Amino acid sequence: MNARRVIIDVDVGTDDAVAILLFLEADKLGEIKIEAFICTKGNASLDNVCRNLVRLLEYADRTDIPVFRGSFHQILPLQNTHSVFHGNDGFGDLKYQEEPDLNIIKKDIASVGMQNIVSKNPGEISLICLGPLTNAAITMRMFDDFSRNLKDMYIMGGNIHGVGNTTQSAEFNFFIDPEAASIVFDCAQCPIYLLPWETCKSSTITFKWRYEVLGKMGGKLWKLIDSAEKSVYGEPTKQEIWMPCDAFLALSFLHPQKAVVKSRKEHVSIELHGRKTRGQAVLDHLSQNQANAVLIEEVNNTLMKEILMRACQNV
């Protein structure tokens, strides 16, 4: 089988980093070919996302993969912010001896870069979205054929039962740019696979395992990620369950048959106007609209651990 081709949109972020590690290993194994990375504001400012990503690629010796810089802002100025959950720099505020070389970043803006790749390879490229959907949405607005030429989209974000993690009822990626999420779900002309917050919350992987088993392993890249996560989360006893959201999505993409234990088709749209529910994913419980997304409801946590152990050694 040919390697599946992907563009990966990230807002690194420690869980993005774990996902990137899984993708880099799959690329090394020839399972996928990473055509480009896209930097999106979210877990950090755009500048820091670029810095965090390029550093990860330098540690992995993969600065050959094209990197594009996305929009400096979310679509609307209402949420003109990024999270500091993963530290001020989005990656644990570690001290480094050298700055990453940002000159490797392409001159073309992300939308143009993505459109060039996708329009030349219609039906071939999967777009993996690990952060707010700003760049995916803007590219869809600029280029009418962009989403039609995608093979599919894999998205981490939103919710299925109205369970929020940033507001009462909104998940971070969708809350940060609800208009972008709305554009994607209302207008995408390709299949969408969505891994929502509730699926992450159902993780059974303990921080104890994460620290005592996975934390003891690994090559250069994993050790960097491990340090960043430890800086973010501190002592393992503080939090019971480890929820590497983006890594769950990576697993679901890389091993769809074995990783996705339960899924269902639904029509998903985004509430933009509520005072309490802005950014909430709304399912069509009246079944008046055709399904536009496959919701990944349950992921194989045992497989997750196996793949993580292998990848942490391997990359």
Tokens of 141: 């607005």
Task: Note whether 158 binds Ca ion by CB under 5 A.
Answer: no
- By the criterion CB under 8 A, which residues form the site for a second copy? 71-73, 75-77, 109, 111-112, 138, 141-144, 160-165, 167-169, 179, 182-183, 186-187, 269, 271-278, 280, 282-286, 288
Report residue 269: phi and psi, to 5°: -140, 175
CA distance 50 to 226: 19
List the x/- string, 131-150, binding to Ca ion by CB under 5 A. x-------------------
Tokens 């159902």: give the residue: 202
**Considering beta carbons, is residue 23 or 143 the nearer one to Ca ion?**
23
Residue 162 binds which entry of Ca ion, a second copy, none, with Cβ cut-offs from 5 to 8 Å by kind? a second copy
Residue 131 binds which entry of a second copy, Ca ion, none, with Cβ cut-offs from 5 to 8 Å by kind? Ca ion
Which residue, 187, 186, 86, 177, is CA-closest to 135? 177
**Considering beta carbons, is residue 141 or 230 the nearer one to a second copy?**
141
101 catalytic per annotation: no
By CB neighbour count within 10 A (0-12 exposed, 13-18 middle, 19+ buried), where does 183 fall?
buried
Tokens of 19: 């996902």
Q: Tell me the three state secondary structure of residue 261.
A: strand
Least distance to a second copy from the beta carbon of 4, Å?
Answer: 28
Tokens 């651990």: give the residue: 305
Residue 11 binds which entry of Ca ion, a second copy, none, with Cβ cut-offs from 5 to 8 Å by kind? Ca ion
CA distance 243 to 206: 9
Stretch that binds Ca ion, among 126-134, 159-167, 209-217, 257-265 (CB under 5 A): 126-134
**Rg, the chain, Cα only:** 18
The binder of Ca ion chosen from 6, 7, 13, 92 (CB under 5 A) = 13
β-pairing, 125-129 with 150-156? parallel
Task: Note whether 244 binds Ca ion by CB under 5 A.
Answer: no
Q: Are the C-beta atoms of 9 and 131 separated by less than 8 Å?
A: yes
Tokens 């990024």: give the residue: 82
Residue 12 binds which entry of a second copy, Ca ion, none, with Cβ cut-offs from 5 to 8 Å by kind? none
Stretch that binds Ca ion, among 87-95, 120-128, 141-149, 238-246 (CB under 5 A): 238-246
Tokens of 46: 């755009």
Active-site position among 9, 11, 177, 226: 11
Contact positions toward Ca ion, by CB under 5 A? 11, 13, 16, 130-131, 246
Catalytic residues: 11
